């Protein structure tokens, strides 16, 4: 299978570059900047893309990420983006300087359309800049292919070696012709073919699962959402009845969700299913706990212990299947990316696990998983179910989780989802839910003073959970949600709407 490797220097858009390449039906993989040259060669990529980075090639107090210079002797086409361009210029003998200020935002860039990288584009395009350093002097054998009034060298190329660099970001939507630039690099310069499809992903994953598990047995952590359901079906295609799905109801699910998940799964799939009801077990572990990271790790640990117990009952089970996505991995922190929050299925896992992990979706984004689900024939209510965090409502109660608060939030959240569906907005919204901050405010009901909880309503649009924007819900929908929650949920006297985007906020509050 043809591929292009994205060399990750820790940039905020690194995963987005890989995503955009995949959208053009070429398989891409995000790999660390210090991957051994032998490992890169073994993967046989058709080209390389150097990502951006929070570092500077000029840094003296922090060692900037570098590549082995032998990478340029592999004969592969290379595209450097932002830091990637500066690194190429620096390593080939050019001069990189710091302007002392950030250049951030939309910029009109003049392009040399004789360069194969810009073939078919207009001589001037709007592009997205996000940098502080810039290339002041070209390295030998390179020429300028892009510039702005403030930046004489905004793009470079060495056409003989097929090495290119651009200071702006083609992977973001703010660069309207960015996909055309990536197309030119992939198809005209690297010679790739658009052959990476959902069917090819399914075939590849099934083969890998067969090779990994062999004649062994596995259990799958099933939540009822599209991620774990797709993971379960892929593993079932590989090993059949040697897979058992474990659905753990930790009591932190949405209203009526436990029975709904079991019913939907049993009706649609002929896969072994065990339903573990463990509400009291989880709630007892959360007594007095208010720190969100501690909550996540307690819940992640308890999940694993239950899976290990169930695996011992089945016997001869060595593997645990999870529907971990790439966004979970990135947010939980990698060597080159800071931890935002520990996802229960990544950073919340105990170190002494008895089971080996199988994560067939670990390098995929949510929309890719949904497309695979459609290809596999999953029912619509599973494919389009909005994402729900593994720790459940525990991280939507801001403070200690108590039975009273849990019931209040379940009722309020149910109203939010009902009204979003009633308005016909459920499929177009990434997530819509209620949050219960453990504070109280004064209100008045029936001429009497109340002192009760507020409910925060959150609704966001997103493509992959890495970034998100708040939904401009119609006032009529907000009014119905507010009116119903205050009138129908005892213990609530106020409803507010969260209008923050990600970044700087996150989608979940904890």
Residues that are catalytic: 82, 169, 171
Separation of alpha carbons 149 and 332, rounded Å: 40
- How is residue 355 written in tokens? 């089971």
| Bridge pairing between strands 124-137 and 492-497 | unpaired
Cα separations (Å) of 455 from 71, 161, 240, 413? 54, 59, 45, 9
Cα separations (Å) of 261 from 117, 120, 265, 375, 416? 49, 50, 6, 21, 19
185: which DSSP letter? Answer: I
Separation of alpha carbons 171 and 182, rounded Å: 8
Confirm if 186 and 4 have CB atoms less than 8 A apart.
yes
- How is residue 497 written in tokens? 């709407």
| Spatial CB neighbours of 471, under 8 Å, sequence gap ≥ 6 | 425, 429, 432, 459, 460, 461
| Spatial CB neighbours of 33, under 8 Å, sequence gap ≥ 6 | 7, 8, 9, 65, 66, 67, 336
- Among 497, 349, 467, residue whose Cα is nearest residue 16: 467
Phi-psi region of 363 (alpha: psi -120 to 50; beta: other; left: phi over 0): alpha
Q: Which long-range contacts (CB under 8 A, 24 or more apart) does 199-207 make?
A: 199/375, 200/1, 201/364, 201/368, 201/372, 202/234, 202/237, 202/372, 202/375, 202/376, 204/1, 205/234, 205/360, 206/234, 206/237, 206/238, 207/238
| Bridge pairing between strands 78-81 and 163-166 | parallel
Separation of alpha carbons 463 and 256, rounded Å: 28
- How is residue 278 written in tokens? 């463990």
């Amino acid at each position: 299978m043809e591929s292009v490797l994205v060399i990750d220097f820790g940039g905020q858009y690194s995963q987005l570059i890989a995503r955009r390449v995949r959208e053009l039906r070429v398989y891409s993989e995000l790999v660390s900047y210090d991957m051994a040259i032998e490992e890169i060669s073994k993967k046989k990529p058709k080209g390389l893309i150097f990502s951006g980075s929070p570092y500077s090639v000029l840094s003296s107090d922090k060692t900037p990420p570098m590549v082995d210079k032998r990478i340029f002797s592999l004969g592969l086409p290379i595209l450097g983006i932002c830091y990637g361009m500066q690194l190429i210029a620096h390593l080939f003998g050019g001069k990189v300087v710091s302007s002392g200020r950030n250049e951030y935002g939309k910029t009109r860039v003049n392009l040399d359309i004789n360069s194969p990288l810009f073939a078919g584009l207009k001589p001037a395009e709007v592009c997205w800049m996000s940098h502080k350093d810039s290339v002041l002097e070209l390295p030998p054998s390179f020429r300028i292919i892009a510039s702005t009034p403030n930046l004489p060298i905004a793009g470079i190329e060495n056409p003989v070696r097929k090495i290119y660099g651009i200071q702006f970001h083609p992977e973001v939507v703010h660069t309207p012709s960015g996909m055309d630039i990536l197309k030119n690099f992939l198809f005209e310069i690297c010679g790739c073919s658009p052959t990476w499809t959902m069917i090819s992903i399914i075939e590849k994953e099934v083969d890998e699962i067969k090779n990994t598990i062999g004649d062994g047995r596995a259990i799958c952590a099933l939540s009822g959402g599209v991620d774990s359901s797709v993971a379960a079906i892929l593993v079932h295609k590989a090993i059949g009845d040697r897979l058992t799905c474990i659905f753990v109801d930790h009591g932190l699910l949405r209203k009526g969700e436990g029975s709904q998940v079991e019913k939907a799964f049993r009706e649609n799939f002929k896969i072994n299913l065990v339903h573990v009801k463990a509400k009291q077990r989880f709630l007892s572990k959360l007594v007095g706990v208010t720190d969100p990271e501690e909550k996540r790790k307690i819940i992640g640990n308890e999940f694993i212990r239950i899976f290990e117990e169930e695996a011992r009952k089945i016997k001869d089970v060595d593997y645990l299947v999870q529907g971990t996505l790439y966004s979970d991995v990135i947010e939980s922190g990698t060597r080159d990316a800071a931890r935002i929050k520990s996802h229960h299925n990544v950073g919340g896992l105990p170190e002494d696990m008895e089971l080996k992990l199988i994560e067939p979706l670990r390098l995929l984004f949510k929309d890719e998983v949904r497309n695979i689900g459609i290809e596999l024939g999953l029912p619509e209510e599973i494919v389009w179910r909005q994402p729900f965090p593994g720790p459940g409502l525990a991280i939507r109660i801001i403070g200690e989780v108590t039975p009273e608060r849990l019931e209040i939030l379940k009722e309020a959240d149910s109203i939010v989802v009902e009204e979003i569906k009633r308005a016909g907005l459920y499929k177009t919204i990434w997530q819509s839910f209620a949050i219960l901050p453990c504070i109280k405010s004064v209100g008045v009901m029936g001429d009497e003073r109340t002192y009760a909880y507020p409910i925060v309503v959150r609704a966001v649009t997103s493509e992959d959970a890495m970034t998100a924007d708040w939904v401009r819900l119609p006032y009529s929908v907000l009014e119905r949600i507010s009116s119903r929650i205050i009138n129908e949920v005892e213990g609530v006297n106020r409803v507010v709407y969260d209008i923050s985007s990600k970044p700087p906020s996150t989608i979940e509050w904890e």
